[in-house]
């Protein structure tokens, strides 16, 4: 076992915290979803190395550029998307706040073959557990499939950042992201609400 303690000082204006999103912010995701589902498929021998390579590349990519770009662009609210899936980590950003996250399902990036794998019944247990945990606080569209819900609940290994950015700062974010060759997807917005996630 390895233990570690770090002590130091930080500039309070350069900290990204989960509880600082505000109504009017836009929501940005910096990596596609699906590493948990693809990992499960790989472990079961359903997919081979070549089909898993994109997931590996995504997991190896660090979030340091994304976090720096977010701070430089004026964001004060973000979270990494890891073991609790997109919905779980998004819920952590809205809980105890008078805001909702309105997320556009068709704007969410999903890795190749993930939808087919989930349709075939392949999803980690963590995705099912995550969905059970968040479903009372998430409003899904009518007839939204369980497969889609599982993808949004898929536990990510080294997932991207979910960033809440003031709308007026989007141009600066886009310019900096382009310069750094960092991918990103605008997936929704923050609205006044009751601490819920609304999927459109």
The arithmetic mean of pLDDT across residues 7-28, rounded, is: 90
pLDDT band at 197 (very low <50, low <70, confident <90, very high): very high
Write down the pLDDT at residue 4. 84
Query: Which strands form 99-103's sheet, in the order they lie side by side?
Result: 77-80, 161-166, 25-29, 185-192, 99-103, 197-199, 138-139
Beta-bridge partners for 26: 165, 189
Task: Please give the CATH topology (third level) of the domain spanning 14-199.
Answer: Phosphoribosyl-aminoimidazole Synthetase; Chain A, domain 2 (3.90.650)
Tell me what pLDDT residue 182 has.
Answer: 96
**pTM of the complete model:** 0.93
By CB neighbour count within 10 A (0-12 exposed, 13-18 middle, 19+ buried), where does 46 fall? middle
Q: Helix or strand or coil: residue 170?
A: helix
Q: With beta carbons less than 8 A apart as the criterion, state whether 74 and 24 touch.
A: no
Q: Answer whether residue 47 shows pLDDT above 80.
A: yes
Asked whether 36 and 155 are in contact (CB, 8 A), the reply is: yes
59 or 2: which leads in pLDDT: 59
State in Å, rounded, how far the first CA of the chain is from the last one. Answer: 44
Give the SS3 label for residue 61.
coil
Segment 7-30 mean pLDDT: 90
| pLDDT the model gives residue 128 | 98
Neighbours of 69 (CB within 10 A): 25
The pLDDT, as a whole number, for residue 8 is 82
How many angstroms separate the CA atoms of 60 and 134, rounded? Answer: 28
Angle in degrees, CA 97, 100, 106, rounded to 5: 150
CA separation for the pair 57, 138 (Å, rounded) = 30
């Amino acid at each position: 076992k390895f233990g570690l303690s770090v002590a130091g000082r930080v500039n309070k204006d350069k900290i990204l915290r989960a509880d600082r999103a505000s109504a009017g912010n836009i929501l940005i995701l910096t990596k596609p979803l699906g590493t948990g589902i693809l990992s499960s498929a790989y472990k079961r021998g359903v997919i081979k190395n070549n089909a898993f390579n994109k997931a590996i590349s995504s997991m190896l990519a660090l979030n340091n550029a994304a976090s720096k770009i977010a701070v430089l662009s004026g964001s004060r609210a973000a979270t990494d998307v890891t073991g609790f899936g997109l919905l779980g980590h998004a819920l952590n950003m809205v809980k105890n706040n008078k805001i909702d996250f309105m997320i556009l399902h068709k704007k969410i990036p999903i890795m190749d073959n993930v939808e087919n794998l989930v349709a075939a019944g392949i999803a980690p247990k963590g995705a099912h557990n995550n969905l059970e945990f968040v479903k009372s606080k998430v409003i899904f569209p009518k007839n939204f499939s369980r497969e889609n819900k599982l993808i949004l609940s898929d536990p990510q290994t080294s997932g991207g950042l979910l960033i809440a950015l003031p709308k007026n700062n989007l141009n600066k974010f886009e310019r900096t992201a382009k310069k750094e060759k960092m991918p990103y997807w605008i997936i929704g917005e923050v609205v006044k609400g009751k601490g819920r996630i609304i999927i459109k």
